[in-house]
Amino acid sequence: MKRLLLFMLLLSLFCSLLAANESIRDAFDEMETEELHLYFFNALNGEPIENAYVDLKGIGEFRTDRMGKIAFQPQEDNYSQEVSFMANKFIKTIFDVEVRAGTIFFNRYSISPVMNIEYFRVVVDWDKSPHDLDAHFVKKGQYHISYHNTRVLSDGRGQLDRDDMDGYGPETITVTSIEQNANYEFYVHDYTNRNNKNSNGLSKSKAIVKVYGNRQLLKVINVPTNKKGNTWRVFRIENGLIIVDNEIE
């Protein structure tokens, strides 16, 4: 048991070092070439998505490399860039990225593989800190999916597909159906700062939630900034409708 714990600790440290080295390498590359980078990952296992088609509106079309990365020249110092992602066996995903002072505010995005039309999936990405953000999906009066609760429902109707405890994500939850007359809630808890309600770590995490259903991207929600608290109330579902709350408390 002690050997297993030591192995998991070393593996986590190794992954963190790799991510840090990649960030440092990106920073030097951007300074030398003035190129910006975007990375794309599989929302179910965190692996890079290679040879995906990425269209940057007004800039051009790109293919991801073995690291799931594309590189491009920014149009100006501050603007919002529309990104369209397409790959075999993945759901087409369109979203905006922000370029601030000539660099990308957040550049890591996890994409959902294609799933059954009835399935509903929520994906959380964030920056290197806080290290541990936990996704929670609650069906009022019936179940609560998270790492600390029912990770996999006993009847197989839903599960936490991926738990991340060393930053970046993705953290992903999938359920097989959304009932029209049931009420649901999705929130993110900053487990790293769980004992500090006055922490602004969650607000500074650059977290982004993507909601997939009906085999398409339904919502993209960014964490509020300049707020204190360790719980992000992202959205709820009532009568089959997604209601965005987007509040930190």
Profile the chain (249 residues) by mean pLDDT over runs of 10 residues: 44 46 47 80 97 96 98 90 97 95 92 98 97 97 94 94 94 96 97 96 98 97 97 97 98
CATH number of the domain that residue 160 is part of: 2.60.60.30
Give yes or no: residues 145 and 205 share one domain. Answer: yes
Q: How close are the terminal C-alpha atoms of the chain, in Å?
A: 38
Cα 34 to Cα 102, 161, 176, distances in angstroms: 8, 37, 44
Give yes or no: residues 210 and 187 share one domain. Answer: yes
Cβ-Cβ contacts under 8 Å for 195 (sequence gap 6 or more)? none
pLDDT of residue 34: 76
- CA 206 to CA 86: how far, in whole Å? 23
Q: Which domain holds residue 3?
A: 1-32
Give yes or no: residues 90 and 153 share one domain. Answer: no
pLDDT of residue 22: 52
User: Vertex 202, ends 29 and 157: CA angle to 5°?
Assistant: 100
- CA 117 to CA 214: how far, in whole Å? 5
Give yes or no: residues 11 and 53 share one domain. Answer: no
Cβ-Cβ contacts under 8 Å for 141 (sequence gap 6 or more)? none
The tally of domains found in the chain comes to 3
pLDDT of residue 101: 87
Residues 40 and 85: beta-carbon distance below 8 Å: yes
Give yes or no: residues 126 and 222 share one domain. Answer: yes
Last residue of a domain, one of 113, 137, 170: 113
Give yes or no: residues 68 and 146 share one domain. Answer: no
Give yes or no: residues 6 and 16 share one domain. Answer: yes
